[in-house]
Protein backbone atom coordinates (compact mmCIF):
# COMPACT_ATOMS: atom_id res chain seq x y z
CA UNK A 1 0.00 0.00 0.00
CA UNK A 2 1.27 3.47 -0.86
CA UNK A 3 1.29 4.97 2.60
CA UNK A 4 2.14 8.47 1.40
CA UNK A 5 -0.60 9.00 -1.16
CA UNK A 6 -3.58 9.36 1.15
CA UNK A 7 -4.74 5.80 0.51
CA UNK A 8 -3.64 4.75 3.99
CA UNK A 9 -5.93 7.38 5.51
CA UNK A 10 -8.83 6.04 3.45
CA UNK A 11 -8.24 2.44 4.51
CA UNK A 12 -7.94 3.41 8.15
CA UNK A 13 -11.20 5.35 7.83
CA UNK A 14 -12.93 2.31 6.32
CA UNK A 15 -11.46 0.11 9.06
CA UNK A 16 -12.79 2.38 11.80
CA UNK A 17 -16.19 2.98 10.20
CA UNK A 18 -18.63 1.06 12.40
CA UNK A 19 -20.92 -1.23 10.42
CA UNK A 20 -18.94 -0.97 7.18
CA UNK A 21 -17.12 -4.22 6.60
CA UNK A 22 -15.15 -6.03 4.01
CA UNK A 23 -18.07 -7.63 2.19
CA UNK A 24 -19.59 -4.22 1.43
CA UNK A 25 -16.23 -2.81 0.37
CA UNK A 26 -15.49 -5.76 -1.90
CA UNK A 27 -18.88 -5.38 -3.55
CA UNK A 28 -18.44 -1.63 -4.04
CA UNK A 29 -14.90 -1.99 -5.38
CA UNK A 30 -16.11 -3.86 -8.46
CA UNK A 31 -17.77 -0.71 -9.82
CA UNK A 32 -16.39 2.26 -7.89
CA UNK A 33 -13.16 3.79 -6.72
CA UNK A 34 -13.41 3.35 -2.97
CA UNK A 35 -11.52 6.55 -2.28
CA UNK A 36 -14.23 8.51 -4.05
CA UNK A 37 -16.85 7.41 -1.50
CA UNK A 38 -15.71 10.14 0.87
CA UNK A 39 -16.74 12.79 -1.68
CA UNK A 40 -20.29 11.52 -2.12
CA UNK A 41 -23.43 12.79 -0.45
CA UNK A 42 -25.47 10.78 2.04
CA UNK A 43 -28.18 10.16 -0.57
CA UNK A 44 -25.66 8.98 -3.16
CA UNK A 45 -24.13 6.55 -0.68
CA UNK A 46 -27.59 5.16 -0.02
CA UNK A 47 -28.08 4.71 -3.76
CA UNK A 48 -24.87 2.67 -3.86
CA UNK A 49 -26.36 0.26 -1.31
CA UNK A 50 -24.99 1.51 2.00
CA UNK A 51 -27.36 1.62 4.96
CA UNK A 52 -28.21 4.94 6.57
CA UNK A 53 -25.93 4.15 9.52
CA UNK A 54 -23.04 3.14 7.27
CA UNK A 55 -23.38 6.30 5.19
CA UNK A 56 -23.61 8.55 8.27
CA UNK A 57 -20.64 6.89 9.95
CA UNK A 58 -18.53 7.18 6.81
CA UNK A 59 -19.37 10.85 6.29
CA UNK A 60 -18.61 11.56 9.97
CA UNK A 61 -15.17 9.96 9.90
CA UNK A 62 -12.94 11.26 12.69
CA UNK A 63 -10.02 12.36 10.54
CA UNK A 64 -8.12 13.55 13.60
CA UNK A 65 -8.18 9.99 14.91
CA UNK A 66 -7.14 8.69 11.50
CA UNK A 67 -4.19 11.08 11.57
CA UNK A 68 -3.29 9.83 15.05
CA UNK A 69 -3.03 6.25 13.79
CA UNK A 70 -1.07 7.36 10.74
CA UNK A 71 1.47 8.89 13.09
CA UNK A 72 1.67 5.72 15.21
CA UNK A 73 2.17 3.66 12.05
CA UNK A 74 5.01 5.90 10.86
CA UNK A 75 6.58 6.13 14.33
CA UNK A 76 6.69 2.34 14.76
CA UNK A 77 7.75 1.57 11.18
CA UNK A 78 4.56 -0.42 10.55
CA UNK A 79 3.64 -1.61 7.08
CA UNK A 80 -0.10 -1.76 6.42
CA UNK A 81 -1.22 -4.42 3.95
CA UNK A 82 -4.76 -4.11 2.62
CA UNK A 83 -6.78 -7.02 1.23
CA UNK A 84 -6.63 -5.34 -2.18
CA UNK A 85 -2.81 -5.22 -2.13
CA UNK A 86 -0.60 -7.65 -4.02
CA UNK A 87 1.31 -8.31 -0.78
CA UNK A 88 -1.83 -9.67 0.90
CA UNK A 89 -1.42 -13.48 1.22
CA UNK A 90 -3.75 -15.33 -1.13
CA UNK A 91 -4.50 -18.15 1.32
CA UNK A 92 -5.71 -15.64 3.90
CA UNK A 93 -7.72 -13.73 1.31
CA UNK A 94 -9.81 -16.85 0.70
CA UNK A 95 -11.03 -17.40 4.26
CA UNK A 96 -14.38 -16.25 5.61
CA UNK A 97 -14.10 -12.91 7.41
CA UNK A 98 -10.63 -12.17 6.08
CA UNK A 99 -9.19 -9.09 7.82
CA UNK A 100 -9.38 -5.87 5.83
CA UNK A 101 -5.97 -4.69 7.03
CA UNK A 102 -2.85 -6.40 8.32
CA UNK A 103 -0.50 -4.29 10.42
CA UNK A 104 3.02 -5.67 10.00
CA UNK A 105 6.48 -5.13 11.46
CA UNK A 106 9.43 -7.02 10.06
CA UNK A 107 9.90 -9.03 6.89
CA UNK A 108 6.57 -8.61 5.09
CA UNK A 109 7.65 -10.99 2.30
CA UNK A 110 7.13 -13.87 4.76
CA UNK A 111 3.36 -13.43 4.41
CA UNK A 112 3.42 -15.25 1.08
CA UNK A 113 5.80 -18.05 2.06
CA UNK A 114 4.56 -21.60 2.80
CA UNK A 115 3.72 -21.77 6.48
CA UNK A 116 2.89 -24.33 9.15
CA UNK A 117 1.23 -23.16 12.36
CA UNK A 118 2.35 -24.66 15.66
CA UNK A 119 -0.04 -24.22 18.60
CA UNK A 120 -0.59 -25.75 22.02
CA UNK A 121 -0.84 -25.24 25.74
CA UNK A 122 0.42 -22.20 27.61
CA UNK A 123 1.31 -24.59 30.45
CA UNK A 124 3.19 -27.17 28.41
CA UNK A 125 5.53 -29.74 29.90
CA UNK A 126 9.30 -29.53 29.29
CA UNK A 127 8.90 -32.38 26.81
CA UNK A 128 6.17 -30.53 24.94
CA UNK A 129 8.28 -27.37 24.74
CA UNK A 130 11.21 -29.38 23.42
CA UNK A 131 9.06 -31.07 20.76
CA UNK A 132 7.57 -27.77 19.58
CA UNK A 133 11.00 -26.18 19.36
CA UNK A 134 12.51 -29.12 17.47
CA UNK A 135 9.66 -29.27 14.95
CA UNK A 136 9.89 -25.52 14.35
CA UNK A 137 13.65 -25.68 13.90
CA UNK A 138 13.45 -28.49 11.36
CA UNK A 139 10.51 -26.94 9.49
CA UNK A 140 12.44 -23.72 8.90
CA UNK A 141 15.43 -25.69 7.62
CA UNK A 142 13.05 -27.37 5.16
CA UNK A 143 12.01 -23.95 3.83
CA UNK A 144 8.77 -23.62 5.80
CA UNK A 145 7.92 -20.51 7.80
CA UNK A 146 6.58 -21.29 11.27
CA UNK A 147 3.53 -19.30 12.36
CA UNK A 148 2.23 -19.05 15.92
CA UNK A 149 0.69 -16.61 18.39
CA UNK A 150 3.51 -15.47 20.73
CA UNK A 151 1.67 -16.89 23.76
CA UNK A 152 3.46 -18.56 26.65
CA UNK A 153 4.28 -22.24 26.34
CA UNK A 154 4.12 -23.96 22.96
CA UNK A 155 3.82 -20.74 20.94
CA UNK A 156 6.96 -19.29 22.48
CA UNK A 157 8.87 -22.56 22.02
CA UNK A 158 7.87 -22.63 18.33
CA UNK A 159 9.17 -19.11 17.76
CA UNK A 160 12.40 -19.90 19.62
CA UNK A 161 12.97 -23.06 17.60
CA UNK A 162 12.41 -21.10 14.38
CA UNK A 163 14.93 -18.47 15.42
CA UNK A 164 17.48 -21.23 16.06
CA UNK A 165 16.89 -22.37 12.46
CA UNK A 166 16.53 -19.86 9.63
CA UNK A 167 14.70 -17.33 11.75
CA UNK A 168 11.67 -17.36 9.46
CA UNK A 169 8.71 -17.14 11.82
CA UNK A 170 5.49 -15.13 11.96
CA UNK A 171 3.87 -14.09 15.24
CA UNK A 172 0.18 -13.25 14.87
CA UNK A 173 -0.71 -11.03 17.79
CA UNK A 174 -3.91 -10.35 19.69
CA UNK A 175 -2.68 -6.81 20.38
CA UNK A 176 -1.29 -4.01 18.27
CA UNK A 177 2.10 -4.86 16.75
CA UNK A 178 3.66 -2.12 18.88
CA UNK A 179 2.57 -3.78 22.14
CA UNK A 180 4.63 -6.33 24.07
CA UNK A 181 2.35 -9.14 25.24
CA UNK A 182 2.97 -11.16 27.25
CA UNK A 183 5.56 -8.94 28.91
CA UNK A 184 7.85 -11.92 29.51
CA UNK A 185 8.20 -12.26 25.72
CA UNK A 186 9.62 -8.78 25.16
CA UNK A 187 13.06 -10.12 24.19
CA UNK A 188 11.52 -12.89 22.07
CA UNK A 189 9.29 -10.36 20.30
CA UNK A 190 12.32 -8.21 19.47
CA UNK A 191 14.17 -11.28 18.19
CA UNK A 192 11.27 -12.27 15.95
CA UNK A 193 11.16 -8.70 14.65
CA UNK A 194 14.81 -8.94 13.56
CA UNK A 195 14.42 -11.89 11.19
CA UNK A 196 10.71 -12.70 11.14
CA UNK A 197 7.42 -10.84 11.14
CA UNK A 198 4.89 -9.50 13.62
CA UNK A 199 1.30 -9.35 12.29
CA UNK A 200 -1.97 -8.09 13.73
CA UNK A 201 -5.38 -7.04 12.47
CA UNK A 202 -5.67 -4.68 15.44
CA UNK A 203 -4.78 -1.00 15.33
CA UNK A 204 -1.47 0.15 16.84
CA UNK A 205 -1.81 0.69 20.56
CA UNK A 206 -4.51 -1.96 20.99
CA UNK A 207 -4.04 -3.63 24.39
CA UNK A 208 -4.68 -7.29 25.18
CA UNK A 209 -8.36 -8.20 25.48
CA UNK A 210 -9.68 -11.74 25.92
CA UNK A 211 -11.95 -11.57 22.86
CA UNK A 212 -9.05 -10.56 20.58
CA UNK A 213 -7.28 -13.89 20.80
CA UNK A 214 -9.96 -16.19 19.34
CA UNK A 215 -10.23 -13.71 16.45
CA UNK A 216 -6.50 -13.82 15.74
CA UNK A 217 -6.58 -17.64 15.64
CA UNK A 218 -8.41 -17.62 12.30
CA UNK A 219 -5.49 -15.64 10.88
CA UNK A 220 -2.93 -18.12 12.23
CA UNK A 221 -4.66 -20.99 10.46
CA UNK A 222 -5.61 -18.89 7.44
CA UNK A 223 -1.99 -18.06 6.70
CA UNK A 224 -0.87 -21.66 7.02
CA UNK A 225 -0.93 -24.83 4.94
CA UNK A 226 -1.66 -26.79 8.11
CA UNK A 227 -1.77 -26.63 11.90
CA UNK A 228 0.35 -28.77 14.23
CA UNK A 229 -0.96 -29.16 17.77
CA UNK A 230 1.51 -30.02 20.52
CA UNK A 231 0.10 -30.62 24.01
CA UNK A 232 -3.31 -29.14 24.73
CA UNK A 233 -6.36 -30.04 26.76
CA UNK A 234 -9.74 -30.68 25.17
CA UNK A 235 -11.09 -27.33 26.37
CA UNK A 236 -8.24 -25.32 24.95
CA UNK A 237 -7.92 -22.18 22.88
CA UNK A 238 -5.67 -24.15 20.57
CA UNK A 239 -8.70 -26.11 19.41
CA UNK A 240 -10.23 -22.87 18.14
CA UNK A 241 -7.30 -22.61 15.75
CA UNK A 242 -7.77 -26.26 14.78
CA UNK A 243 -11.48 -25.70 14.15
CA UNK A 244 -10.71 -22.79 11.86
CA UNK A 245 -8.12 -24.92 10.07
CA UNK A 246 -10.72 -27.62 9.44
CA UNK A 247 -13.25 -25.07 8.16
CA UNK A 248 -10.57 -23.63 5.88
CA UNK A 249 -9.73 -27.10 4.52
CA UNK A 250 -6.23 -26.98 5.97
CA UNK A 251 -4.27 -29.99 7.18
CA UNK A 252 -4.31 -30.80 10.91
CA UNK A 253 -1.39 -32.60 12.53
CA UNK A 254 -1.12 -33.85 16.11
CA UNK A 255 1.77 -35.05 18.23
CA UNK A 256 0.67 -37.98 20.42
CA UNK A 257 1.55 -38.26 24.09
CA UNK A 258 1.10 -40.42 27.15
CA UNK A 259 -2.46 -41.42 27.98
CA UNK A 260 -1.66 -40.31 31.53
CA UNK A 261 -0.80 -36.79 30.39
CA UNK A 262 -3.88 -34.48 30.44
CA UNK A 263 -2.15 -32.31 27.85
CA UNK A 264 -2.27 -35.17 25.35
CA UNK A 265 -6.08 -35.23 25.36
CA UNK A 266 -6.56 -32.79 22.48
CA UNK A 267 -4.02 -34.51 20.23
CA UNK A 268 -5.53 -37.94 20.86
CA UNK A 269 -9.05 -36.61 20.27
CA UNK A 270 -8.00 -35.03 16.97
CA UNK A 271 -6.19 -38.17 15.84
CA UNK A 272 -9.38 -40.15 16.46
CA UNK A 273 -11.22 -37.58 14.33
CA UNK A 274 -8.79 -37.98 11.42
CA UNK A 275 -5.88 -35.65 12.16
CA UNK A 276 -2.52 -37.03 11.05
CA UNK A 277 -0.36 -38.46 13.82
CA UNK A 278 3.13 -37.04 13.37
CA UNK A 279 6.40 -38.24 14.84
CA UNK A 280 8.77 -36.11 12.76
CA UNK A 281 8.83 -33.24 10.29
CA UNK A 282 8.85 -35.62 7.32
CA UNK A 283 5.30 -36.65 8.26
CA UNK A 284 4.21 -33.03 7.79
CA UNK A 285 6.17 -32.35 4.62
CA UNK A 286 4.71 -35.46 2.97
CA UNK A 287 1.22 -34.00 3.37
CA UNK A 288 1.76 -30.33 2.53
CA UNK A 289 4.20 -30.62 -0.36
CA UNK A 290 1.46 -31.49 -2.86
CA UNK A 291 -0.75 -28.66 -1.62
CA UNK A 292 2.01 -26.10 -1.79
CA UNK A 293 3.60 -27.23 -5.04
CA UNK A 294 0.27 -27.17 -6.81
CA UNK A 295 -0.85 -23.92 -5.16
CA UNK A 296 -4.18 -25.39 -4.14
CA UNK A 297 -6.44 -22.78 -2.55
CA UNK A 298 -9.62 -23.98 -0.89
CA UNK A 299 -12.36 -21.59 0.02
CA UNK A 300 -14.29 -22.02 3.24
CA UNK A 301 -17.91 -22.95 3.24
CA UNK A 302 -20.01 -19.96 4.27
CA UNK A 303 -21.83 -19.83 7.55
CA UNK A 304 -25.29 -21.35 7.38
CA UNK A 305 -27.92 -19.15 5.80
CA UNK A 306 -29.72 -17.02 8.37
CA UNK A 307 -32.93 -18.99 8.08
CA UNK A 308 -31.11 -22.23 8.87
CA UNK A 309 -28.88 -21.03 11.70
CA UNK A 310 -30.51 -21.92 15.00
CA UNK A 311 -28.10 -19.74 16.97
CA UNK A 312 -28.73 -16.64 14.86
CA UNK A 313 -32.47 -17.25 14.98
CA UNK A 314 -32.22 -17.40 18.78
CA UNK A 315 -30.89 -13.84 19.00
CA UNK A 316 -33.17 -10.84 18.85
CA UNK A 317 -32.58 -7.17 18.18
CA UNK A 318 -32.79 -6.77 21.95
CA UNK A 319 -29.96 -7.98 24.19
CA UNK A 320 -30.03 -11.80 24.37
CA UNK A 321 -27.98 -13.61 27.00
CA UNK A 322 -25.85 -16.65 26.20
CA UNK A 323 -28.04 -18.75 28.51
CA UNK A 324 -31.13 -17.76 26.54
CA UNK A 325 -29.39 -18.53 23.26
CA UNK A 326 -28.38 -21.99 24.48
CA UNK A 327 -31.91 -22.67 25.70
CA UNK A 328 -33.56 -21.52 22.48
CA UNK A 329 -31.11 -23.18 20.10
CA UNK A 330 -30.90 -26.38 22.18
CA UNK A 331 -27.25 -26.74 21.25
CA UNK A 332 -24.32 -27.62 23.56
CA UNK A 333 -22.80 -24.45 24.98
CA UNK A 334 -19.38 -25.06 23.39
CA UNK A 335 -21.02 -25.34 19.96
CA UNK A 336 -23.08 -22.19 20.63
CA UNK A 337 -19.98 -20.21 21.65
CA UNK A 338 -18.19 -21.39 18.53
CA UNK A 339 -21.05 -20.29 16.28
CA UNK A 340 -21.41 -16.96 18.13
CA UNK A 341 -17.79 -16.19 17.30
CA UNK A 342 -18.39 -17.01 13.63
CA UNK A 343 -21.50 -14.83 13.50
CA UNK A 344 -19.68 -11.98 15.23
CA UNK A 345 -16.78 -12.18 12.79
CA UNK A 346 -19.32 -12.23 9.95
CA UNK A 347 -20.88 -9.04 11.40
CA UNK A 348 -24.32 -10.61 11.78
CA UNK A 349 -24.37 -10.08 15.55
CA UNK A 350 -22.62 -7.81 18.02
CA UNK A 351 -21.35 -8.62 21.50
CA UNK A 352 -22.67 -6.24 24.18
CA UNK A 353 -22.39 -6.10 27.96
CA UNK A 354 -24.98 -8.75 28.85
CA UNK A 355 -25.04 -10.89 25.73
CA UNK A 356 -25.53 -10.40 22.00
CA UNK A 357 -27.80 -8.44 19.67
CA UNK A 358 -28.67 -9.18 16.06
CA UNK A 359 -27.57 -6.53 13.59
CA UNK A 360 -30.18 -5.26 11.17
CA UNK A 361 -27.78 -5.71 8.28
CA UNK A 362 -24.46 -7.49 7.97
CA UNK A 363 -21.41 -5.55 7.04
The Cα–Cα gap between 66 and 141 comes to: 41
- Could you read off the pLDDT of 15-54 as tens digits, one per residue? 999 888 888 888 888 888 888 898 899 999 998 888 899 8
| Of 16, 14, 19, residue with least CA distance to 32 | 14
What's this model's pTM, rounded to 2 decimal places? 0.79
> 222 versus 307: which is more confidently predicted?
222
The Cα–Cα gap between 196 and 191 comes to: 8
Task: Provide φ and ψ at 137, rounded to 5°.
Answer: -55, -50
What is the pLDDT, as a whole number, of residue 162?
96
What is the pLDDT, as a whole number, of residue 165?
94
Beta bridge partners of 295: none
- Could you read off the pLDDT of 118-162 as tens digits, one per residue? 999 999 999 999 999 999 999 999 999 999 999 999 999 999 999
What is the pLDDT, as a whole number, of residue 363?
41
- Residue 149 and residue 236 in contact, taking contact as beta carbons nearer than 8 Å: no
What is the pLDDT, as a whole number, of residue 338?
78
Mean pLDDT along residues 321-332: 88
**Res. 4: pLDDT tops 60:** no
Mean pLDDT along residues 248-253: 93
Name the pLDDT band for 7 (thresholds 50, 70, 90): confident
Angle subtended at Cα 210 by Cα 350 and Cα 229, rounded to the nearest 5 degrees = 110
Amino acid sequence: MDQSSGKLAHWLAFYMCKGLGIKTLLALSTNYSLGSLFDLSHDKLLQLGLTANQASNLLNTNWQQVSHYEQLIALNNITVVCIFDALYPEDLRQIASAPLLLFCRGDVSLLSTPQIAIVGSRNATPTGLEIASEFAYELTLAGITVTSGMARGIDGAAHKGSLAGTGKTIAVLGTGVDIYYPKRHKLLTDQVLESGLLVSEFLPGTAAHAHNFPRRNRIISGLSLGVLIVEAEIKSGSLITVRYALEQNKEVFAVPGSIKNPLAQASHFLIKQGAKLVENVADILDEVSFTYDNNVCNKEQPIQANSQCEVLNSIGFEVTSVDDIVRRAQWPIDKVLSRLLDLELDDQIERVLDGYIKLSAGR
